[in-house]
Amino acid sequence: MDLIQLLNEVKMKSDEEAQALAAQYGMDFSKQEIRALRPLLNEISFHWLFSGIPDAFIQKVKNIIGAEKTNRLLKEYYDFKKR
């Protein structure tokens, strides 16, 4: 599954299913965090695969889930991108 498919799948899942999917990647999100992150999925651009994730977007994520979880999420993203 590529990254775009994964993001689209997360959009379609219930909060519980999204929580379980995140857990498969070692990420522990509360349902409240998932609900807050979900609208940000619409802001994600395919272009970021080449240009990198904008700092403003990263800051939005940090405001929702905190710096530690954001750093782990970014690590997962970069590891996923290498596959």
* pLDDT tens digits, 14-48: 999 999 988 887 889 999 999 999 999 999 888 88
What's the confidence (pLDDT) of residue 3?
Answer: 64
Region for 26 from its dihedrals, namely left if φ exceeds 0, alpha if ψ lies in -120 to 50, beta otherwise: left
Two structure tokens written together for 19: 């929580």
Beta strands in 1-83 (DSSP E): none
What's the confidence (pLDDT) of residue 2?
Answer: 60
Contacts of 13 (CB under 8 A, 6+ apart): 21
Identify the H or E element spanning 31: helix 31-37
- Say whether pLDDT at 6 is over 90: no
Domain spans in the chain, listed from the N-terminal domain onward = 3-82
Q: How far apart are CA 76 and CA 83, in angstroms?
A: 11
What's the confidence (pLDDT) of residue 10?
Answer: 84
Two structure tokens written together for 64: 């929702």
Q: How far apart are CA 39 and CA 25, in angstroms?
A: 20
What's the confidence (pLDDT) of residue 79?
Answer: 77
pLDDT digits (tens, 9 = 90+) for 40-80: 999 988 888 788 899 999 999 999 999 999 998 888 777 76
Rounded to two decimals, the pTM is 0.83
